[in-house]
Structure 1
């Protein structure tokens, strides 16, 4: 067997571009521009979708109101305890926000507005809620289990009848005995039917009455029932309350709702309930005082009436109407002492009552000391502060748990204030008892003087004394009750409404400009993202620059797509761009192998990449130079040359290698000057063994002696093994890739041939180039003339027309 000649690697510098790690923005841009109809269409669809969504989405309006949270004026003596931490600041914005957002206030507002029934009318593309002037009024008995959540459809039939049907079956059962936990509806007993306006519609899980207010015949109204707890939670979560700034004590209440009037009514009613609740808490002390005084008056009235009748009877029976001068002086002194004693006894009774309240933790019933005649400023300040703390605790516990820091802080302050108040009351009780002992002693001294008076006058003085005592107490209590009622009537909420609720004239949602912009951006991003993912997941070779960077050999040329059916464009269409590309490749051969006799080998990874097409046309381009050229088909398994030259594959290289037929007898004319062909011949059972015979080496040597150029069309090296042995017979080897067809993973086969297989003089060719990656050099990088120098008939189109053409091809 002949020893194959050795080849040396040429300097690949003229054919190997420098590695570029940076992203080529132009390439990236052209990669997307070839899909510009898709991107433009998606952007248009996105804008149209955003327009229709904006057009037919229910507009949302913002309702806004403001509340002023005022500071309480400090009670007398408050300054004594500010440093001790017993008293709290009154302007607690966070607490007021929590109260306004409380579930309790929401329930009270909803109950007063009767928002349990929502009415709707069906439009062309959306169902709109109506509020205020509704055609029918549904009266619901919430003491009976009710179907909530679903939607009912009412159709008026005349003035007295209507048809009721179920529009949405998402019902739950609301049970007033357990209002916070609804149950799923197992069987709906509310069936479609005709009912009469004004008559109750009742079942196991529903009871309501429909009244006609202005419904016309055939008019359709939808309505749904919602229980108060669910509505309250919904409004509680929807309303937003914030201070206008960190230093201000003005709160802004905002609510976003599709019905402006409903939002205004709810916020206004919420503010009314908020102020009424505050006023009730301020009046609680006055009401407790009035109840205490009325309890005392009920006993004094009877005693006063008894002694008044007894005095009149005694005067009539004894014919004595006035005391003597001495008796009058004694009576005046005694009356002053008795009056002071009565007031002290009332104060003592108040102290005992207050102490009982403190011990029993009945802080809601505290009575203001000033209303009962107690003028101690310290006691007044402590009671007032304790009442405020208790009211604050009640309001906070309605919204927060007992473990919340603010609630724990208030409870701590209540305990400290209550302890100080208990000590003060105990001291006051002891002082009052000492005063009463002294007053009783002084009264006893005067009573001794009374005993010196005549019996008749002495008895009159005794009766008149009892009457005067009860009269003074009665007048005193009446005075204090009037004062308490005046205080109650003059109480005003410390906070006030600055601006009542007002809805904006422009909806806050949907935002037309923003939605159109989002639609435009999504319409652009989605197809670009799709293209990017598609390219990322693409396993085919498309970018020539990527191919150059990944293979270990130079990319010597690129052959454009042959749009004609003729597999021999070099011979039949010499002015085409594909023919020009083969001429360029032929010109490069003078640098790759300056030898006069030239043997070229073409292979690929798999079948279908165009190695036979390139072999035929490379042989043709040499034959046109007048070079005596032979094209040899060595793909013994899947021959194609015979088909392309319209001849019969009856004999060929397999015939020579398997018989004694000389190679000269299997040479066939191609029909063109200077071009002969040796077909692969009939498919043998052992093609690999045939090509490895010494006879094949002899044949190749003889062929090279007779022909100037020999073209070897070899089997795909990635599929068969014999191709690796054929590299020894060639001067230059070409590995063919096909754009959009060859797999990127197959590049490693070529790299292994060069690095591990020791194959030299190997070059890459990219066939069927039709995907323009935006480099602007015809079919890639300028290895060919492209279409700008007039060497062939194809005209270079403007870039936008090329982009349109590429998008159609894609």
Structure 2
């Protein structure tokens, strides 16, 4: 039989393969397939059980249609819409819907600061809606939060209160973002209380009202501060456009309680629209407020001059003007009306200038109320109002350092400066117009001086009355128009779909959980095997040994499944697989030493326990069974084992012959089997290395070789003692034994040192205790390597047969 590897001095060193041997890797795992299958199945069962126990989570969806920004009051009056572009910022609307302010308002309106629970099979289940009790908490003082309180209705008027979970914290409204752990005992909380009465203590104050609770009914509840609840629901809310081109926002949240999710999203959408409408009405409300301030002054003046006019007519019996007086009065009335309107404009411009210099964000009034026909100023004021409204909306969501607010602040500053410059220009133009109309009035007054005194005085009083009356009627008209706009305002956005929950829960995902359970169950044993192999420093695979040792690997000996510890496998069970392994090894010796009539074979290893004695005894046995006159010589003078295996007394042997000169034939003992003699190592000497170095030892070995066909030498481990190195020259074939899953990989370096530095010839290696059960090694070193151990009459079974339990 040809060996796959050759001596390092006989052939050039072969290049090692770098490719990963998939079969070798799989063999590490397949030999544990029962554990892997069991763990995988267990993972699936646990995942299935967890899916049944987990609380179902439902997804609730609602949608809002984001409309385009409508025109403001000023633009509507003056028709400046062509200068304004519609505004539709989806990102801003998403920010508003998920803002802290809106979520806080919803939490407070739905009273989500108090959570109710009922006893479940494995845990307490959250309940919402149709609660038989109503609990009102005073959040303006220190209050208990977290933990869990248990309430049992004892009668229609009373209930029993107890602490179910004492993980309680103290909420302080003066520092709402920080909670302190409760470390002292509470008094006045546990015990019996009356419905409708306050339950009050140092760190709590609340009131329980009975709505439909019946005696014996038990309920659990806990308090949560508004800030914690807002943060919780902000994380739960998801707002996103339905697609990139649409202006429809879908609002969704996942919750174990479908009704709670529906109520929350519906209330959030309503609060969102109410807030938008409130912001939109601010400009109109400011306009009405400005008009009311002007009316307060005009009303008093109008009443005063109306009274004076009536008194003068009554006293002087003058009720109508002459024809000339009527003509002058009509001209004067027209001029006075123009002056009143100009003065009103000037008054507005000064008010607008004070507002712009005051750096406030409220009180901006549209120029249209005073009849301003300047489209640029109107558009700038409308734009400024929009920017300020947008800033207020963003401020409730983002901090002042965010890019969105910084950008809009920059736009407000630029627009405010433009409005201020236009306002100052308008003030100058208005003052010029006012001076011009005053000159015209002065000219008319010169004509009035030509009228009779009585008519002149009546004209003066009626003139002042008409001025105030015209202004009063003008303001009333503008006020009515503003109120119509206020009443007709509607949000630009609208609710498209009210919230509704999906029919099937989104969690638990049973199929996904089963897949993950199977993966976890598979990964656990595979991971353990990988970690074990990663940190394992022993020889595992024959191929690994073949590639690294500098001598041929000529055989593999199967792993013994015997629990009795007897190494006479060949003699006891000659038909076993291990016996066939040794017969195959015996056949290989013909190729290793062709034409030899007599044969000397030496067995050694690196450390104790690798099976060199086992291999030596059984190889000697197969030669003896073949009819060869065989002797097994124990040369491990430090730790002999052969005597115990054959049931002999180690009273004489090699050490006796070398120390006292006993003839070796007198030391030979029969093994109890045909053609096999034993020369034991003898009593353990104090100087084994020196004994084996004597010249008589070589003479004794020559005589033994002359008297026997096969000489098997069982030597001490070469990695532990020094005398074995001197014995290699006595043998025709030197066998170096490794043991699978036992021999450290560093033993390979010991063998390399013997071959490369020690010059040992005729050295070969054996891998002992190979587990063939799952490995299916593709090495043709003998007969029956696919079998399982060395028991007689065993039948080879493939992996499928083993999986289904075939024997």
TM-score (norm. length: structure 2): 0.93
Alignment of 1:72 with 2:69, yes or no, is yes
Q: Secondary structure of 2:44's match?
A: helix
Specify the alignment match of 1:756 in structure 2.
757
Q: Trace 1:6-155 onto structure 2 (pairs within 5 A).
A: 21-73=18-70, 75=75, 90-155=87-152
Aligned to 1:3: none
| SS of residue in 1 equivalent to 2:632 | strand
Contact 1:35–1:807 (8 Å) recurs in 2: no
Of 717-726 and 443-452, the range deviating more from structure 2:
443-452
**1:118 partner SS:** strand
**DSSP 3-state at the match of 2:706:** helix
Residue 663 of structure 1 corresponds to which residue in structure 2? Answer: 664
Q: Mapping of 1:737-776 within 5 angstroms?
A: 737-775=738-776
- Which residue of structure 1 lines up, in the alignment, with residue 799 of structure 2? 800
Between 709-718 and 308-317, report the one with greater CA deviation: 308-317
Contact 1:69-1:495 at 8 Å conserved across structures: yes
Q: Secondary structure at the match of 2:303?
A: helix
Q: CA deviation at 1:792?
A: 9.7
Summarize deviations over 1:38-92 as a string: whole Å, max 9, x none. 11111112112211222121222222222222222564686887xxxxx776112
In the TM superposition, what are the counterparts of 1:296-695 in structure 2 within 5 Å? 296-564=294-562, 565=564, 566-593=566-593, 594-695=595-696
Q: Is the 1:27–1:775 Cα contact (8 Å) retained in structure 2?
A: no
Which residue in the other structure is 2:3 paired with? none
SS at match of 1:169: strand
How far 1:29 moved relative to its partner?
3.2
Q: How far apart, CA to CA, are the structure 2 residues paired with 1:676 and 1:77?
A: 126
Deviates more, 1:634-643 or 1:166-175: 166-175
Per-residue CA deviations over 1:185-213 (Å, capped at 9, x if unaligned) read 34242542221211101112211101122
Change (3 A) 1:606 1:802: farther
Displacement of 1:214:
2.0
Q: Which moved more, 1:202-211 or 1:424-433?
A: 424-433
Counterpart CA distance in 2 for 1:11 and 1:607 is 26
Cα deviation for residue 724 of structure 1 reads: 0.7
Q: 1:801 to 1:475 in 2, by over 3 A?
A: closer
Indicate how the Cα distance of structure 1 residues 182 and 621 shifts in structure 2: closer, same or farther if over 3 A, else same: closer
Q: Distance in 1 between matches of 2:533 and 2:164?
A: 49
The whole-number CA distance in structure 1 between the counterparts of 2:619 and 2:777 is: 26
Secondary structure at 2:796 match in 1: coil
Matches within 5 A, 1:123-272: 123-190=120-187, 191-272=189-270
Instruction: Quote the Cα distance in structure 2 between the aligned partners of 1:178 and 1:693.
Output: 96
Structure 1 position 650, deviation (Å): 1.4
Aligned partners of 2:138 and 2:205 also within 8 Å: yes
Shift in CA distance, 756/17, structure 1 to aligned 2, threshold 3 Å: closer
Residues 284-307 of structure 1 deviation map (CA, whole Å, 9 limit, x = unaligned):
111111111111211221222222
Would the alpha carbon gap of residues 211 and 703 (structure 1) be closer, same or farther in structure 2, given more than 3 Å must change? same
- Conserved? CA contact 1:623–1:673, under 8 Å: yes
- The alpha carbon displacement at 1:599 in A equals 1.0
Q: Distance in 2 between matches of 1:11 and 1:574?
A: 36
* Kept in 1: contact 2:554–2:764 (CA 8 A): yes
Compute the displacement of 1:439 (Å).
Answer: 2.0
* Structure 2 residue matching 1:763: 3-state secondary structure: strand
Aligned equivalents of 1:263, 1:380: Cα separation in 2? 45
Report the Cα distance in structure 2 between the residues aligned to 1:418 and 1:88, rounded to whole angstroms.
Answer: 19
Q: Deviations over 1:410-457 (max 9, x none)?
A: 122212222221122122222222222222222222222222222222
Work out the CA distance in 2 between the residues paired with 1:228 and 1:563: 70
The answer to which of 456-465 and 767-776 deviates more is 767-776
Cα distance change on mapping 1:785 and 1:412 into 2, 3 Å: closer
Q: Distance in 1 between matches of 2:571 and 2:419?
A: 118
Shift of 1:668: 1.7
Offset from partner CA, 1:9-53 (integer Å, 9 cap, x none)? 979999x99965433333433432222221111111211221122
Unaligned residue ranges in structure 2 (runs of 5+): 1-5
Identify which range, 611-620 or 338-347, moves more after superposition.
611-620
Q: Which range moved further: 161-170 or 513-522?
A: 161-170
- Bigger shift: residues 313-322 or 204-213: 313-322
Deviates more, 1:669-678 or 1:289-298: 669-678
1:172 and 1:183 in contact (8 A); partners too? yes
> SS in structure 1 opposite 2:474?
helix
Distance in 1, matches of 2:7 and 2:101, equals: 91
User: Tell me, what secondary structure is at the counterpart of 2:648?
Assistant: coil
Question: 1:241-270 CA distances to partner (integer Å, 9 max, x unpaired)?
Answer: 222222222222122222222222222222
Aligned to 1:282: 280
Distance in 1 of aligned mates of 2:786 and 2:96: 80
- Cα shift readout 1:140-179 (whole Å, capped 9, x = no counterpart): 1111221122221212222222222222233332222332
State the Cα distance separating 1:376 from its structure 2 match: 2.5
| Counterpart secondary structure, 2:29 | helix
1:88–1:107 distance in 2 versus 1, CA, 3 Å? farther
The 8 Å contact of residues 307 and 467 in structure 1, kept in 2 or not, is answered as yes
Cα distance in 1 for partners of 2:531, 2:303 equals 102
Consecutive unaligned residues of structure 1, counting only runs of 5 or more, are 1-8, 82-86
Asked if structure 1 preserves the Cα contact closer than 8 Å seen for 2:8 and 2:551, the reply is no
Secondary structure, aligned partner of 1:150: strand
CA distance in structure 2 between the aligned counterparts of 1:758 and 1:341, rounded to whole angstroms: 127
RMSD: 2.6
Equivalent residues of 1:12, 1:554 under 8 A apart = no
Name the CA distance, whole Å, in 2 between partners of 1:683 and 1:147. Answer: 83
* d(CA) in 2 for partners of 1:433, 1:255: 60
Return the alpha-carbon distance in structure 1 between the equivalents of residues 49 and 573 of structure 2.
Answer: 55
User: Could you tell me the TM-score, scaled by structure 1's length?
Assistant: 0.92
**SS at structure 1 position matched to 2:775:** coil
How far, CA to CA, are the matches of 1:347 and 1:801 in structure 2? 100
Secondary structure at the residue paired with 1:254? strand
Change in Cα spacing, 1:403 to 1:80, as seen in structure 2 (3 Å) is farther
Q: How many Å apart are 1:802 and its aligned residue?
A: 7.6
Please say if residues 787 and 796 of structure 1, whose CA atoms lie closer than 8 Å, have aligned partners that are also in contact.
no
8 A contact 1:34–1:804 mirrored in 2: no
> Contact conserved, 1:619 with 1:629, CA < 8 A, in 2?
yes
Distance 1:586 1:337, change over 3 A: same
| Contact 2:772–2:785 (8 Å) recurs in 1 | no
Tell me the CA shift for residue 491 of structure 1.
1.4
* SS of alignment partner, residue 672 of structure 1: coil
What is the Cα deviation at residue 722 of structure 1? 0.7
Q: Deviations over 1:626-681 (max 9, x none)?
A: 32222111111222222222222111111111112211211222223322221111
CA drift of 1:366 comes to 0.9
Deviations along 1:573-609, one digit per CA (max 9) or x if unpaired, are 3222222222222211111113212111111222222
Residue aligned with 2:167, SS: coil
Output the CA distance in 2 between the equivalents of 1:774 and 1:317. 133
What is the SS of the residue equivalent to 1:747?
helix
